[in-house]
A and B are shown apart, each in its own frame.
Chain A
Amino acid sequence: MRTTQQIKPMVPPTTSIWQHHHILDLDDFTLEEIELVFHTTQAMKEVLSRPIKRVPALRGKTLITLFYEPSTRTRLSFELAAKNLSADAVNLSASASSVAKGESLVDTLSTLQALGADIVVMRHPRSGAPYIATKYMEASIVNAGDGWHAHPTQALLDLYTIYKHKGCLKGLKAVIIGDIMHSRVARSDIWGLTTMGVGVTLCCPPTLLPAGLDRQHHHLPSVSIEPNIELALDGADVVMALRLQLERQQSGLLPSIREYIQLYQLTEARLARAKPDALVFHPGPVNEGVEISPAVAHGPQSVINEQVANGVAVRMALLYLLAGSKKQ
C-alpha cells in the first residue's frame, strides 16, 4: 500500500476500526465506522477542491462496475470516484455482455475473478446477489443496490449530507415518505439513521409498509409509523421522499396515483409542518409532481443536487477504505 501513504495523513489514525472487506449492507456498520466514513469523506472533499482532482491512492488497482440495472448517478459517481483515486475503472453493463446471451451470474463473476478485479461495484435487480459475489471472488464487493434489499453507499451519502448540515445526528428526527416496501434506499437509510441515533418515522400507505413493521408486529423500537403525512412531518429535521414506481397501482397496492398524490405528496404546505431548517432528500430519479412537488424539489430546503455531489466524495472515501482492507 505504498501509494496510499500520500493521503494517509488526511485520515484520522483510526482506520483500524474499519472492519469491512465488502460493503453489502449498512446493518453491520457501527457508529464509529460511519464516523470514519464522514472523516475520510472530508479528506476526499479537500482533494476534489484542488485544481487537479486526482490522487494516486488506488493506482494499479482495477475497479469493475457490474450493472444489471440501469443507473445514471450511482455508476457515474463510482467511475468518477475511482478515476479520482487513479484506479483503472472498467464498466460491464449487463445488456452489452454475454449476460444478454444467458450467462449465469456465477459464470460472470468467475470470469471477473479470472480477469483480476480488485473491487467490483455491483448493481442487481435481485436481493442478495452481491452476497453470491463474495463467495466466488477475492475482490472487495460494493453493493450499488440489490433488489429491495440495500443501497448502502446511497445511505452513507445521505448520512454525510445530514452531518455536513447538522453537525451532530443524534436526536434528530427523520421522516421517510413513500414506497418503503420496495425501497432499498429506505432500508439502508433506516439502519444507518438508527445507528447514528436519529429517530425515524415511516410515512406511507399501509400497503407499502414492509412486513414486521406494522402495528401488530413491531420489531424496530427506534422506528415509528405514522400514515398521516402532516402528523409525520411535525418537527422533522430531515425529510426523505422516495420514488413511487407507477406500476404499484397495477399490482393492487394503491387505488390510484391520483389518490397517492393527494395523501402523500411532499408539498410546501406539508413541509411547513417540519422544522424551518429541515432538509429535503430524494434518492432520484424524481417523479416531479408525484411523490414531491416541483416547488419542494427545487426549493431552498432541497439538498437533492448536493446529495449527488457528495456521492463522489463518499464513494472515494469508501473505495479508499476498502483498498486498505483485508479479506477475512
Chain B
Amino acid sequence: MMKPLLIQGGRIIDPSQGIDGIGSLLITEGKISWLGKGEATPPQPDYAVLYAQGLIVCPGFVDLHCHLRQPGFEEKETIATGTKAAARGGFTTICCMPNTNPPLDNQTSVEYVKSKAASEGVVRVLPIGCISKGREGQELAEMGELASAGVIAFSDDGEPALNSHLMRQALAYSHAFDLPIIDHCEDRALTEGGQMNEGIISTKLGLRGIPNAAEEIIVARDLTLAQLTGSRLHIAHTTTEGSVDLIRRAKEKGIKVTAEATPHHLTLTEERVIGYDTNAKVNPPLRTERDIQALIQGLNDNTIDIIATDHAPHTEADKLCEFDLAPFGISGFETALGSLMSLVHDGELSLVTLIAKLTHEPAKIIGNKYVRLGTLAIGASADVALFDPALEWVVDTKAFASKGKNTPLAGERLKGKVMATVSQGKLVYKDESITVKES
C-alpha cells in the first residue's frame, strides 16, 4: 500500500467548493482524505510530503476534447505517449475523440481504448463515441451500446454532422442516455480547400480562406435542432465572435447548449500563419484579435463554458510540406496552461475562472456517472495539478512527451508552468525542482 502523500503549503484553488487559500491536502489510497487550512497538519503522522510553497494546487485539469490517435495512427500518438503529455500539462482526465482507425463507433473499439488506457495510460481516459457509423454522416452509430461501453459523449469530430436529419436524430436519440452531442461546426461547402482564416492575410499569402460564416451557419443550425429536440448540445472549438453571439442568445432562450474554446484560439491570431508555418495550420483556423476578445468575453459571462485543448498531434513529416498539403492540428497538452496563463497575467481572465473552465465546468458536462471529477472534495479521486503561475520557461518540443511536436509556440517563452500532477493518487509527473520527502 502506498504511503499517504501530503501536498503542503500551496495556494489551494478549488472552484467546485469555492476554496481559495493557503493550505495542505492529504491523499490516501487514491482519494482526497483531508484538507487543512493554513499551517494545519494532518491527524495521522506517517506520510510523504510534497512541498508546494509558491504553487497553485487545484483539481487536475479535465479535457473534453483531444485526439490520442490510437488505434490506427500510432506514429502520431499513442495512449501511452498522449497520457504522459497530458500529465505534463496538468490534465488528469482526458476525453478522446473517436476519429481513429477503426473509429470508435462500436463497443469493441471503445473497449480497446479503455483497456489500453488501463494498462498504459498514466491519466484517466474517457472515450467519446461516434455519432454515425464509420463517421460517414449517414446512419446513426449504435449509441446505446456505446453508452453502455462507457462513452461520455458522441461526436464525429474532424467531420461536421452535415446531414441535418442525422443531427436531429442523434440529438433526439442520445437524450435517452443523457449524453451530449459534440459537433464540429463547419459548412464544408464554404470551406472546401480552405487553409486559414479568410481575410486580408489569406489574400496576401495566396491561401484559400475559411470564412467565419462556415462555422456560424452550423452553430445556428445545431442550436435550432437542440431547441427542437430539447437535447444536450456541446459546440466544439468555438472560434468566432458570431458563434459566441449565437450561443449567448441560445442560452438566454434556455436551449441546453454548452461550448468550448481552445487555448490556441484564445491566444493566437491568424498572423501566426505568415511565413507559411504549417504548425499554425489548424481547423477551425486561428482567427482575429476581435474574435479572441469575443471568446474571452464569452468565458467571463459563461457563454463559453469550458476550455478544451483539441490536442491534435501529427508527425514532423506530416507537417514538413507545402502549406496546402499539411494536415490540420496543434499539439496542445503541454503548452495549454502556459498559454492560458497569459490571459490571467494580462488581466483578461481571473485565475479562479481559468481553473474553473479547466476543472469543475468540464466535469459538470461529463457528469458524475463514472467518477466525481474536477474537485478536491474529501472522498473524491485524488486528481491534482500543481503549477507555478509566474515561472517563465521556453517551449522545447524535444522535451515533449507527446509524439506531436506540432506547435506554433516552439521556442517561445511562456509564463506559468505545471510543476506536478497527481492522477488517482499517483504522482504521474513532477518537475525536477519539486521534492518529495518522508515526514
Residues of chain B contacted by A127 (CB below 8 angstroms): 205-207, 276, 323-324
Contacts of B204 in A (CB 8 A): 27, 187
A204-239 at interface with B (beta carbon < 8 Å): 210-213, 217, 219-220
Residue of B205, B208, B209, B322 with highest tally of chain A CB at under 10 A:
B322
A184 contacts B200, C-beta separation under 8 Å: no
Q: Which residue from B206, B209, B211, B320 sits with its C-beta under 8 Å from A147? A: B206
A163 at the interface (CB under 8 A from B): no
Among A131, A147, A212, A213, the residue within 8 A (CB) of B324 is A147
Q: Which residue of A lies closest to B209 (CB)?
A: A211
Chain A residues with Cβ below 8 Å from B198 are 211
Are B322 and A128 interface neighbours, CB within 8 A? yes
* Chain A positions 132-154 with a Cβ under 8 Å from a chain B Cβ: 132, 146-150
| Interface residue? A104 (CB, 8 A) | yes
Interface centre among A106, A126, A150 (most CB of B within 10 A): A126
Residues of B within 8 A of A129 (CB): 322
Q: Mark B187-231, 1 if CB is under 8 A from A, else 0.
A: 000000000001111111111110100000000000000000000
Tell me the minimal C-beta distance from B209 to chain A in angstroms: 5
A123 contacts which chain B residues (CB < 8 A)?
A: none
Q: Is B325 an interface residue (CB 8 A)?
A: yes
- Contact: A105 with B322, CB < 8 Å? yes
User: Of B200, B203, B324, which one neighbours A126 at CB under 8 angstroms?
Assistant: B324
Number of B residues with CB within 8 Å of any CB on chain A: 21
User: By the criterion CB–CB under 8 Å, are A131 and B276 in contact?
Assistant: yes
- Chain B proximity of A126: nearest CB distance (Å): 4
Bound CA span A132–B202, Å: 18
Does A124 sit within 8 A of B, measured CB to CB?
Answer: yes
Smallest CB gap from B192: residue in A: A251
Which of these, A104, A105, A212, contacts B203 with CB under 8 Å? A212
> Do B199 and A187 have beta carbons less than 8 Å apart?
no
Give residues 267-300 of A contacting B (CB, 8 Å): none
- Distance in angstroms from B188 CB to nearest chain A CB is 14
B324 contact set on A, CB distance < 8 A: 126-127, 147
A212 contacts B201, CB within 8 Å?
Answer: yes
Minimum Cβ distance to chain A for residue B171 (Å): 31
Q: How would residues 247 to 278 of chain A score, 1 for a CB under 8 Å from any chain B CB and 0 otherwise?
A: 00000000000000000000000000000000
Q: With the chains together, A128 CA to B324 CA distance in Å?
A: 9
Q: Given the complex of chains A and B, what is the CA–CA distance between A89 and B207 in angstroms?
A: 31
Q: Is the CB of B207 within 8 A of A128?
A: yes
Please determine whether A126 and B202 come into contact, CB atoms closer than 8 angstroms: no
Q: Which residue of A lies closest to B195 (CB)?
A: A127
Chain A residue with Cβ nearest B320: A106
Pairwise interchain contact A104-B200, C-beta atoms closer than 8 A: no
Write out the residue numbers on chain B whose beta carbons fall within 8 Å of the beta carbon of A212.
199-203
The 0/1 profile, CB within 8 Å of A marked 1, for residues 391-423 of chain B is: 000000000000000000000000000000000
Contact A217 B200 (CB under 8 A): yes
Instruction: Give bound CA distance, A242 to B325, whole Å.
Output: 27
Q: A106-B320, A147-B324, A211-B200 are in contact. Are A132 and B276 (CB under 8 A)?
A: yes
Among A106, A149, A213, A220, the residue within 8 A (CB) of B206 is A149
Most A-side CB within 10 Å, residue of B202, B204, B320: B204
Q: In the complex the two chains form, what is the Cα distance from A105 to B321 in whole Å?
A: 7
Give the CA-CA distance A124 to B321 in the complex, in Å: 13
**Chain B, residue nearest A130 (CB):** B276
B254 is an interface residue with CB less than 8 A from chain A: no
Please state if A126 and B323 are interface contacts (CB–CB under 8 Å).
Answer: yes
The smallest beta-carbon distance between B220 and chain A, in angstroms, is 20
| A contact residues around B18 at 8 Å (CB) | none
Chain A residues lying within 8 Å of B203, measured Cβ to Cβ, are: 187, 210-213
Residues of A with C-beta under 8 A to B275: 131
Q: Within the assembled complex, what's the spacing in Å between the Cα atoms of A90 and B328?
A: 36
Q: Is the CB of B321 within 8 A of A128?
A: no
With a cutoff of 8 Å between Cβ atoms, the chain B residues found around residue A105 in the complex are 321-322
B200 contacts A213, C-beta separation under 8 Å:
yes
Cα distance A211–B199 in the bound complex, in angstroms? 5
Expressed in whole angstroms, the minimum distance between the Cβ of B212 and any Cβ of chain A is: 11
Assembled-state Cα–Cα distance A220/B203 (Å): 11
Write the A111-127 contact mask toward B (1 if CB under 8 angstroms, else 0).
00000000000001011
State in angstroms the CA–CA spacing of A106 and B278 once bound together.
Answer: 14
B209 / chain A contacts, CB cutoff of 8 Å: 211
User: By the criterion CB–CB under 8 Å, are B199 and A146 in contact?
Assistant: no
Bound: A42/B130 CA distance, A: 66
A184 neighbours in B (Cβ, 8 Å): 206
- Is A150 a contact of B321 with CB atoms below 8 Å? no
- 11 contacting pairs across A/B (C-beta < 8 A): A104-B320, A105-B321, A127-B276, A128-B322, A131-B276, A146-B206, A187-B204, A210-B203, A211-B200, A219-B200, A220-B200
- B interface residues, Cβ below 8 angstroms from A: 198-209, 211, 275-276, 320-325
Closest 4 A/B residue pairs (Cβ) = A149-B206, A212-B200, A128-B276, A148-B206
Q: Which residues of A contact B (CB under 8 A)?
A: 27, 104-106, 124, 126-129, 131-132, 146-150, 184, 187, 210-213, 217, 219-220
A124-B322, A127-B207, A150-B206 known; 8 other A-B pairs, CB under 8 Å? A127-B323, A128-B206, A131-B276, A147-B206, A148-B206, A184-B206, A187-B204, A212-B201
